[in-house]
Structures are given as structure tokens and as C-alpha cells.
Amino acid sequence: MPAEEFRKSAHEVVDWIADYLEGIRNYRVMPMMEPGSLVRSLPKSGPEQGEPAARILEDFRDLVIPAVNHWNHPRFFGYFSVSASHPGILGEMLMSALNVNGMLWKSCPAATELEQVTLGWLRQWLGLPEEFFGIIYDTASISTMHAIAAAREMADPEARQRGGAQNLVLYCSEQAHSSVEKGAITIGVGQRNVRKIAADDQFRLRTDLLKTAIEEDARAGKKPFCIVATVGTTSITSVDPVSEIVPLAEKHGMWLHIDGAYGGTAALVPEHRHILDGATRAHSLVINPHKWLFTPQDASVFYTRKPDILRRAFSLVAEYLRTAEDERVVNYMDYGVQLGRRFRSLKLWFVLRYFGREGIIKILRNHIAWAKELACVIDADSRFEVAAPARFSLVCFRFRGSDEQNRLLLDRINADGQAFLSHTVLNGRFVLRLAIGDIKTTREDVMETWKCISKLADTL
Ligand SMILES: Cc1ncc(COP(=O)(O)O)c(C=O)c1O
């Protein structure tokens, strides 16, 4: 592509992005489309001859965009609401342009050193001790998989050579994210050796049952090796009692990993800092800036107090990757499965610098306050019930009726196009989830969405 064509197209793209984000309220949040319609509208084979960027952009606007669910919409309240903030997008664009590979310090010193700097800032803001070594992976699922691999390395150092994960047992709450089980599958622990411990009436892992399960397994000749506690569970954002779990992990010499993929970010807010109480004694912790820290997908931050064990689990240096600086630098490829690494810290650096700690706290506080306010409003409406205390920025609620009616309500909300919500099942009942997390969301967005839900409930 000649430089001039690139310049022209890039300006067009940036203009499109700026207009898109500015006018995003004009879009339906969820597309109205039948499965397969985008596939049918595009050619079955790729073009033999190249096409001008202008034509590709035209199809992007006309064909692709109508099939997009707008995660960047301020009324996208489904799953965990995320946002690609403007500064984050700038970082992401530059990251693509540079296209460096941060596998080694030498392969791009800036990628390694900026990762160390940004994760150092974030670590301080979260109140974590300096000994926590940070690394960016793509997703929390992969971060947790690395935690489980490190746990295996600690419990059974022969496993790396021998293969398998004989006799090892992993513990998490029944509310833990499915990525924990997937990690156990990947590392060879096996689903059968994942103990899902029942949660209490606040959906927190029950430490008494955890203790019993660990002791029973140990008596039966198994090796309890890893506990995953969650700070901000996916369904309901409950927080496992990490401080109670720590002594158990320590007594049995187990690796304790904290999944704070979404909720951990709240620890940036001083009055919520306590959610990471005990986490400083955990072996590792994951927090996803691509969830509630306004950083475009994907960026998952993993901290560990035991980088040497993580390194032991993964380091394998081919001759062509040896450098003269190896003894003096961090080569991030040594701390994970992947060799090639994107320059993800660049976008996080843009976000942290642009908003600053205070700016971020202000946004998080608003989200948390609006969730609390909404929960009160819902509680006051006799047609509805709040399914669990609103913690962080998520409200779980249900229409006082059948699961079928709640499912119908959710379908109607999403089909309306003004907002997007998701669901979960709590205590066997279908529950709606409204997650606030987009940087553009206002109090009005939340309250107007409630009005819309309330009106739709009248049609049930
Ligand atoms: C608590 C928790 N952990 C892990 C994950 C997985 O995150 P990722 O998509 O980054 O793998 C999620 C996703 O929502 C989550 O809520």
C-alpha cells in the first residue's frame, strides 16, 4: 500500500472511529440478524486480485458493522461490560503499527521495560507488595492456566519431564469461572480432580468444606496442590474469603491463585482495597485491564510472588533465542507458553497515564454507586427482587415470576436494541445481570435502561 493511500485510509478510519464512538448511542446495542447472514453476504472465496482499501472499508461499514454487537455501547450491560477507551485505542493502534515481538528483552527492549513499568504502577495502585512479579497474557483464562501450571511445578517438579499431573487435586468454589476447570484440563490435572466446593448463602466459597475436602483427599493419598479463590465471581461478583483460605493453603503447601479478573480492579478504589486482603500472601493473582480498566481487548495482568517457579515450569531456550543480556534482563518468553508477545503494555500505559489513578478511581466509584442505586430502585419495585447484594458494579435481579417470564423479559430487552443484558442461574433460578463497566456509561443510561425494563415487564 503506497504511503499516501495508507495516510488517506488511516485518516478515514480514525474519523470513522471518532464518529462511531461519539455517535454510538445511535446504534442498536445488539444487531438484528439471522445467524449466517454475514457469511451469506460475503464471497465464498477470497479475491484473486487485491482490492482498494476504500472498497474494503465500504464493506466494513455496510456489511460487517450491522452484524456487530456493540460492546463499546454505554448501554451494553451484558457479561462484564468492558470499554476500549479512546487512549486505549490510541495505544492499540500504535502497537499494531510497531508490530514488535516482546519475547526477549533484546527483541524489543521497550516492550519488556514498559511492561515492567506499567505493571509496577498498577501493582502499587492495587497495594500489592513489590515482590509481585507482573506479566501480561492475553486473557484471564490463560493467566489462570499459567497459575495452575506453576502450582503443578511447585507440587511435582518431575511432572515437566515425566508429563501428566498424577494424583494432583485442585479446589475452587462452585461459583468459580469455567476457565479454572479448563486450565486443569489443559495442564493434565483432569476434570475429575477439580473439587468444586459449595458456596455459602452469599455465594462465597465455604472454607469449612474446603478444609474437609483437602483433608479427605490427603488421607486418601491424593495431593491437594492448588486453590483458586475468586474476588468477583462471574455470576454474582461474590468474593471468596481469601484471608481464611490463605492459612489452609499454607498449611498444606498449596499454591493459592486469586481470580480477580473483573473484581480485582475495584481494589484501586481505597474503600474497596480490602477485597485483596490476604491476596498478598497468595502465590498469584490475575486482573484483567480489558474488563474494567478501559483497555481494549486483550490484556490480562498476572502477578506472582513466585516467578522462579513459573519460570521453571516454562523456560526452554532454543539456541537462536540466547542473548548476551540474558543474565541481566527479564525475557518474558521464559514465563509462559507463548514465544511471540504483543506490546500490550503500550495500551495500558496510555490508559494509566491519560486517566491517572484519581481519574480511574472516580469512574469506578461512579459505576459502583450507580449499581447500588439501581439495586435500591429495583428492590423498591414489588414486581422485582434483587437476587443478591449488589457488589461492585453488577446488579443481579429477577422478575417475581417464572424462569420462563424472566427469559422472555431478557429477550425483549435485548430485542428492543436500547440496551443489552445477560443472565445467570442462581440457586436454580434464572436471573438477569446488569453489569456497568463502560467508560461512557452515565447514571442516566442506567436509570433509562431500568425504565425500559420496567415498561417491558408490564408486557409479561
Ligand atoms: C471471574 C472471571 N474469571 C475469568 C474470566 C475469563 O476471562 P477471559 O475472557 O479474560 O479469559 C471471566 C470472564 O468473564 C471471569 O468473570
Ligand 1, atom 13: closest residue by C-alpha: 234
Asked if residue 118 has its Cβ within 6 Å of ligand 1, the reply is no
CATH of the domain at 183: 3.40.640.10
pLDDT, residue 390, reads 83
Using a 10 angstrom Cβ sphere, with 0-12 exposed, 13-18 middle and 19 or more buried, the burial of residue 164 is middle
Rg (CA), the chain: 23
Q: Which residues of 84-121 are buried (b: 16+ CB within 10 A; e: fewer)?
A: bbbbbbbbbbebeeeebebbbbebbeebbebbbebbee
Q: Does residue 365 sit within a domain?
A: no
| pLDDT tens column, 201-242 | 999 999 999 999 999 999 999 999 999 999 999 999 999 999
Axis crossing angle, helix 443-458 with helix 345-379, rounded to the nearest 10 = 50
Q: Which atom of ligand 1 is nearest to the CA of 288?
A: 10
Q: Which domain holds residue 286?
A: 101-342
For a mutational test of ligand 1's pocket, the pick from 81, 137, 234, i.e. the residue with the most ligand atoms closer than 8 A to its C-beta, is: 234
Low-confidence ranges of the chain (pLDDT < 70): none
Using a 10 angstrom Cβ sphere, with 0-12 exposed, 13-18 middle and 19 or more buried, the burial of residue 375 is buried
CA of 189 to the centre of ligand 1 (A): 20
| pLDDT tens column, 21-69 | 999 999 999 999 999 999 999 999 999 999 999 999 999 999 999 999 9
Q: Does residue 65 sit within a domain?
A: no
Asked if residue 261 has its Cβ within 6 Å of ligand 1, the reply is yes
Q: Does residue 30 sit within a domain?
A: no
Q: Taking a C-beta distance cutoff of 8 angstroms, is the pair 386, 375 a contact? A: yes
Asked if residue 259 has its Cβ within 6 Å of ligand 1, the reply is yes
Q: Does residue 107 sit within a domain?
A: yes
Helical H runs in 86-223?
A: 86-98, 109-126, 140-155, 159-162, 178-187, 207-219
pLDDT, residue 386, reads 96
Q: Taking a C-beta distance cutoff of 8 angstroms, is the pair 65, 33 a contact? A: no
Residue type, 355: F
How many independent structural domains does the chain possess? Answer: 1
Q: Which atom of ligand 1 is nearest to the CA of 298?
A: 10
pLDDT, residue 134, reads 98
Strands across the sheet containing 384-386: 384-386, 394-399, 429-435, 422-426
Q: Does residue 222 sit within a domain?
A: yes
pLDDT, residue 375, reads 97
Asked if residue 179 has its Cβ within 6 Å of ligand 1, the reply is yes
CA of 141 to the centre of ligand 1 (A): 6
d(CA 283, CA 153): 13
Q: Does residue 203 sit within a domain?
A: yes
pLDDT, residue 164, reads 86
Q: Which atom of ligand 1 is nearest to the CA of 234?
A: 16
3-state secondary structure of 128: coil
Q: Which atom of ligand 1 is nearest to the CA of 176?
A: 1
pLDDT, residue 452, reads 97
Q: Does residue 281 sit within a domain?
A: yes
CA of 14 to the centre of ligand 1 (A): 30
Which residue, among 384, 380, 381, 411, has the nearest Cα to 396 in the 3D structure? 384
Asked if residue 141 has its Cβ within 6 Å of ligand 1, the reply is yes
pTM of the predicted model, to two decimals? 0.97
Residue for grid cell 485518516: 11
| pLDDT tens column, 360-382 | 999 999 999 999 999 999 999 99
Q: Does residue 81 sit within a domain?
A: no
Is the omega angle on the peptide bond into residue 200 within 30 degrees of 0, that is, cis? no
Helix, strand, coil shares of the chain, percent, nearest 5, are 50, 15, 35
pLDDT, residue 391, reads 86
